[in-house]
Amino acid sequence: MNSIQKVGGYAALVLGVQYIVVIMFMFGVLDPPVSHVDTGAMAEEENDFLVVMANHPTPFLIRSLVNGLFSITLLLCSLALRERLKAGAPNRMRIAVIAASVASPLFLASFMILFIGLPDIVAANDLASYLILNAVTQGLLSSAVFAYAWATLLFGWAGLSTKELPSGLSYVLLLAGVFDIIGIGMMIFGPMGNVVWAFWLGYVLLSRDGASKLAT
């Protein structure tokens, strides 16, 4: 087994866990216990969020760490897929890796900005600075998701044309990319679709006969 494909397989499994964490945040499973936060001393209601963050920083730390980890796992998966698919679809894989390489530093930048800047803003209870920081990081994250959505679409397209991936996996990759590009992936198909392709891809990359067993 090619070493980069093996590394990419493990990265895909970690990526699947990351998407599960994202889903947990979407449904409020990891939200901090807001009801337990004393906001009586706050002058304005909109400052409540900073109070919650100051008293329960762990969920916000987990969210920022997941964003930083995306920059690594997504790129490793992309390199593994390029190694597997480039012979049959070199141009598509070249563009896909470029898109993933654009997304990776955007995820990393959003993580670093939050990890370094947010604690000081929370300590100072500076709502205006937080709103600016949040606007910047959300812009970076939206750009990163859009760039990687194109990579995902191209991976699925290349997998279908080269037959180097199970056809079911290729369709999931293709659909996940399409839904994320048009901006409704996180609301409809994206959450579970990303979990499915990440774990499935990890199995295929780590198993010598995974593709033949799962091909449909």
Return the closest-CA partner of residue 116 out of 64, 55, 76: 64
Report d(CA 130, CA 207) in Å as an integer.
46
- Calculate the average pLDDT of the chain: 81
Overall size of the chain counted in residues:
216
pLDDT of residue 207: 86
Rounded to whole angstroms, what are the CA distances from 187 to 26, 65, 180?
10, 22, 9
pLDDT of residue 214: 42
Are 122 and 50 a contacting pair, CB within 8 Å? yes
> Which uninterrupted H or E stretch holds 91?
helix 90-124
Q: Which residue has the higher pLDDT, 16 or 47?
A: 16
Give the 3-state secondary structure of residue 181: helix
| Per-residue pLDDT reduced to its tens digit, 147-191 | 989 999 999 999 999 989 999 999 999 988 888 888 654 555 667
pLDDT of residue 38: 45
Report d(CA 95, CA 15) in Å as an integer.
21
Q: Which residue has the higher pLDDT, 133 or 56?
A: 133
At 101, which amino acid appears?
S
| Per-residue pLDDT reduced to its tens digit, 13-32 | 999 999 998 888 777 766 66
